[in-house]
Structure 1
Amino acid sequence: MPKTNSKTIALILAVTLCTACSGSGSDSSGSGSSSTPTSSSSSAASSNACLASGRLVVSAVSDDGSHDGHAPENAVDSSFDRDSRWSSLGDGKILHLDMGTQATISEVKTSWLDADTRTAFYEVESSADNDNWSTLVANGQSNSTELFAVDSFDPVEARYVRIIGRGNSENTWNSLLEVEIHGCNGIEPISAQPSGAPLASTLDPGLPPSDNFDLSRWYISIPTDEDGNGRADNIKENELNDGYEQPDFFYTGADGGLVFRVGPTGFKTSTNTSYTRVELREMLRAGNTSISTQGVNRNNWVFGSAPASDRAAAGGVDGNMRATLAVNRVSTTGEAYQIGRVIVGQIHANDDEPIRLYYRKLPGNTNGSLYFAHELNGGDDIWHELIGSRSNSAPNPSDGVALNEQFSYEIDVEGNMLSVFIYRVGKETVSKTIDISSSGYDEGGQYMYFKAGAYNQNNSGEEDDYTQVTFYALEHSHQ
């Protein structure tokens, strides 16, 4: 069976929202009326800005009818390739963006061709009705050191945004690689579809994991030691994506899901690790073993806040991982502080973890909690609760996630903003965004990779105790 992205997508995402936006923004009823415009690369101007702003979907894009063959849709295709740009010659050329419905916007990001050698000049305007326009950015300039020039402003209600090109410091060409609109509210909320016909039709219980999921950019750690090196075995990309399964730890379930099963004991990935895992590790090299697994190279990615040299050397910039899964079983024996907890997704850096996403269900509770740790580079963990409590004596969370209940998570990083979203059918999205600008991951030499699976956080349980997690969708992407 051919591997396609449709096998790994079970999430329907309309737009990333924040839930704490306030203020109605400026009046956009007449041309030129607006809140005070900001200059390029400014920060949010007031406390009522969207603090957890997410990228909004552009449903249609057009220009003023003149371009050199580099069409307007190139500016919203998530590609930073030189040939994937919108180019139009002349002062005042317009790129027109339609979000399809009215939303609160608070930030526009633009990435311009050759921003390291020349400065692009532009303006940004918004409109609710495509007739009356307000100025958001009056004197925008491209940023020579960052991937995006970021223009933030007081929240404003709009459906349409237009970028007005004013040429660049060398000539009157307007060459835009990518544009993103960020904001919140007013758009159909994010929803998850972790079960039902679309998913059931793509997962075949009679096939090995790699025929249901694209595993070409992952390897997996198994708590066995077949090569006798004293550490857990790592099954590399090509072997993993060629039908590999292990009946005790990693296999296709009766419903076609991807099963990760791990006990309290077994071989570990390193001497610094206390717990066993059956866990996928992102490998952007996709089987090209001439590329090292470690370092700022084409196998790993960096944050958008990393130095320009690291962004150029890495396999990706910023990252997004989405998964649909169910926790089938957690540990029930052992030390009280370890019982019932498992890590189901994380970002790993050189030595530390910018995020570890936990599920935990205590023996006396019917539902489990979800929370995450943000580990400072070379420092301590900072904990953030999403659903329920991480306490060793937590009461049953009424809005918690039960065993075998499918849910979806999304981990997203843009620059120094780290966001986590939890999606469940028929329930409100739960999200948390944190600023990690002081966490030390924007230093040179820091590289990242995603991990997903079952990282058992109990090494004190009885020998026959175990944790099991089943994934129904998994995808990862980078700029």
Structure 2
Amino acid sequence: MKNPQLTNFVIFLSLIVSLNSCKNSDKKPTETNTEKETSKKAYASDVIPFFNHWNLILGDGSNVGPAVNFEHKDYFYTSTDESGNWVVFKSPNAGDTHGTSNNTRTELAQLKKWSAMTDAKLSATLKVMNVSATGDARVASTHSVVVGQIHSADLHENEPLKIFYKKFPGQTKGSVFWHYEINTAGEDNSKRWDYSSAVWGNDFSVVGTTENTYPEEPEDGIALGEEFSYQIEIKAGMMHLTFTSNGHDTKTFTKNLIQSEYSKPSDIPQQTQDLFFPIGQDGVEREIAYAEEGLFFKLGCYNQTNGKSPEVNRNWCSGAETFDGDLQKQYETGNYAEVWFKTGDILVSEDAYSNEGYFLKND
């Protein structure tokens, strides 16, 4: 005869096991959802939410357009370190270039143009993670990358501002400097030149004495991976620049964009005579400089090192290793530029935009 107490106990035990099994079954979907939420991809437009204002050019020469919810594993993606999320821009020494440039870029170009009389502002916090490991040290642009620009959309399409970072191989600290390119008088733009101003470290003109020897490392320079910030503000025809970095003096500069200081041969500075006169670039600037032209901001990683022979141009042709354009070999050997942006902000008066509306210029 069956024992009623034993039967009841078995039924009770089975019920407990069944309930626990249901509870565990209920937990699994919740855990899976949590894992999915944790591993959700962060796009660049999540980190710096201003990408509707720009078109993105990649290091393979392609035009992505506005880079909202976009990434490319070779050129443009996000990364995380102990301080948070960053937007990564990478450009090899060689690849398909955009427009008439000799250099590759992964770079944002602002969608609308504005005049030098506009209230306009661009600010960013960034760190440069790599510049080319090879190149002729006598060439001023070698081992450098441009991380911010103002570009003209009209006439010669020159650049009243380029912000550079440059570091020689084997050195810990590099230099930050900025350039003003003259808006050449007349129709011939071949005689244009840049004037370089040091922020931390040296300016563009400090080069090696031979292909593989380097100038002294700057004491007040910026290391790879070290954060710095720039702010570009345009107001009533004047460009105001502010550069900041922890542990470094804040540096400020002002430049008139609508009245040239280089309109006569006697105005041309010695730095230009030393760097650009030997290659036939000895022009003067329009008296009104960049007045009456549409301007736009650019931001990203515009690699200034390329594989062209220095015999072509001793300021801009680096003679660097390119492995015939093989992207992965360039990345494996350090022959590329890489810049991480932590923050970015743009402000341009809406009523100051040109009636011509949207545009994209390439260089």
SS in 2 for 1:348: strand
Tell me by how many angstroms 1:205 deviates.
8.7
Match of 1:361 among 146, 156, 167: 167
Q: Is residue 344 from structure 1 mapped to residue 147 from structure 2 by the alignment? A: yes
TM-score under structure 1 length normalisation: 0.48
Equivalence for 1:275: 103
Corresponding position: 1:462 with 2:321: yes
Structure 1 residue 210 displacement after superposition:
1.2
Q: Would you say the 8 A contact 2:116–2:291 is kept in 1?
A: no
Match of 2:43 in 1: 208
What pairs with 1:4-43 in structure 2 (closer than 5 Å)? none
User: Deviation at 1:428?
Assistant: 2.4
Kept after mapping to 2: 8 A contact 1:301/1:318: no
Distance 1:377 1:425, change over 3 A: same
Work out the number of aligned pairs and report it: 237
SS of the residue aligned with 2:45? helix
> Structure 1 residues 423, 205: closer, same or farther in 2, change over 3 A?
farther
Structure 2: 5+ residue stretches without partners: 1-38, 185-191, 209-214, 261-284, 308-319, 323-329, 350-363
Residues 93-134 of structure 1: CA distance to partner in whole angstroms, max 9, x if unpaired?
xxxxxxxxxxxxxxxxxxxxxxxxxxxxxxxxxxxxxxxxxx
Q: How many angstroms does 1:276 deviate by?
A: 0.6
Partner letter of residue 303 of structure 1?
A
1:392 corresponds to 2:207? yes
Q: Which one-letter code corresponds to 2:199 in the other structure?
A: L
SS state at 2:170 partner: coil
Report if aligned partners of 1:205, 1:253 keep a CA contact under 8 Å in 2.
no
1:244 aligns with: 70
CA contact (8 A) 2:176 2:201 kept: yes
Q: Could you tell me which amino acid in structure 2 is paired with residue 210 of structure 1?
A: S
Matched, 1:402 2:223: yes
- Once the two structures are superposed, the pairs formed by residues 221-300 of structure 1 within 5 Å of their partners are 221-224=57-60, 232-237=61-66, 240-241=67-68, 243-255=69-81, 256-270=85-99, 272-283=100-111, 299-300=112-113
Q: Does 1:334 align with 2:122?
A: no
Pick one of 208, 213, 218 that aligns with 2:54: 218
**Is the CA contact 1:320–1:412 (under 8 Å) kept in the aligned structure 2?**
yes
Question: Contact 2:115–2:291 (CA<8 Å) still a contact in 1?
Answer: no
Q: Alpha-carbon deviations, 1:58-80, whole Å to 9, x = none?
A: xxxxxxxxxxxxxxxxxxxxxxx
Other-structure match for 2:316: none
Q: What is the aligned partner in structure 2 of residue 453 from structure 1?
A: 300
Question: CA–CA distance in 2 between the matches of 1:402 and 1:419?
Answer: 25
> Shift in Å at residue 441 of structure 1?
4.0
- TM-score in terms of structure 2 length: 0.62
Report the Cα distance in structure 2 between the residues aligned to 1:441 and 1:269, rounded to whole angstroms. 26
Q: What SS is found at the alignment partner of 2:46?
A: helix
- Cα distance in 2 between the residues matched to 1:443 and 1:319: 15
Give the corresponding residue for 2:345. Answer: 475
Evaluate the alpha carbon distance shift between residue 416 and residue 236 of structure 1 in structure 2; reply closer, same or farther with a 3 A threshold: same
Question: Structure 1 CA distance, aligned partners of 2:58 and 2:290?
Answer: 31
Q: Is the 8 A contact 1:352 1:375 kept in 2?
A: yes
| Post-superposition offset of 1:359 | 0.5
What residue ranges of structure 1 are gaps of 5+ in the alignment?
1-203, 225-231, 284-298, 305-316
CA distance in 1 between counterparts of 2:165 and 2:173 reads 10
Separation in structure 2 between the aligned mates of residue 370 and residue 212 of structure 1, nearest angstrom: 25
* 1:274 Cα offset (Å): 1.0
Deviation (angstroms), 1:254: 2.8
Following the alignment from structure 2 to structure 1, what is the Cα–Cα distance between the partners of residues 248 and 143?
Answer: 24
Cα distance between partner residues in 2 of 1:442 and 1:340 = 29
Residue deviations 1:148-167 (CA, integer Å, cap 9, x gap): xxxxxxxxxxxxxxxxxxxx
Counterpart Cα distance in 2 of 1:280 and 1:427: 28
Per-residue deviation, 1:442: 4.5
Query: How far has the Cα of 1:472 moved from its partner?
Result: 0.1
- SS at structure 2 position matched to 1:425: coil
> What is the distance in 2 between the residues matched to 1:346 and 1:319?
13
The answer as to whether partners of 1:332 and 1:339 remain within 8 angstroms in 2 is: no
CA distance in 1, matches of 2:132, 2:291: 38
Counterpart CA distance in 1 for 2:232 and 2:40 is 28
Partner of 1:473: helix, strand, or coil? strand
State how 1:40-55 maps to structure 2 within 5 Å. Answer: none
Give the superposition deviation at 1:372: 1.1
Secondary structure, aligned partner of 1:300? strand
**RMSD after superposition:** 1.7
Aligned residues with identical type, % of pairs? 31
Q: Whole-Å Cα distance in 1 between the matches of residues 248 and 59 of structure 2?
A: 36
Rg larger for: 2
Taking a change above 3 Å as real, the CA distance of residues 412 and 221 of structure 1, as seen in their structure-2 partners, is: same
Larger proportion of strand: 1
Is 2:243 the partner of 1:428?
no
The 1-side partners of 2:87 and 2:59 are apart by 17
Judge which range, 456-465 or 388-397, deviates more.
388-397
Between 1 and 2, higher relative CO (CA 8 Å, sep ≥ 6) is seen in 2
SS at 2:80 equivalent: coil
Task: Output the CA distance in 1 between the equivalents of 2:342 and 2:217.
Answer: 26
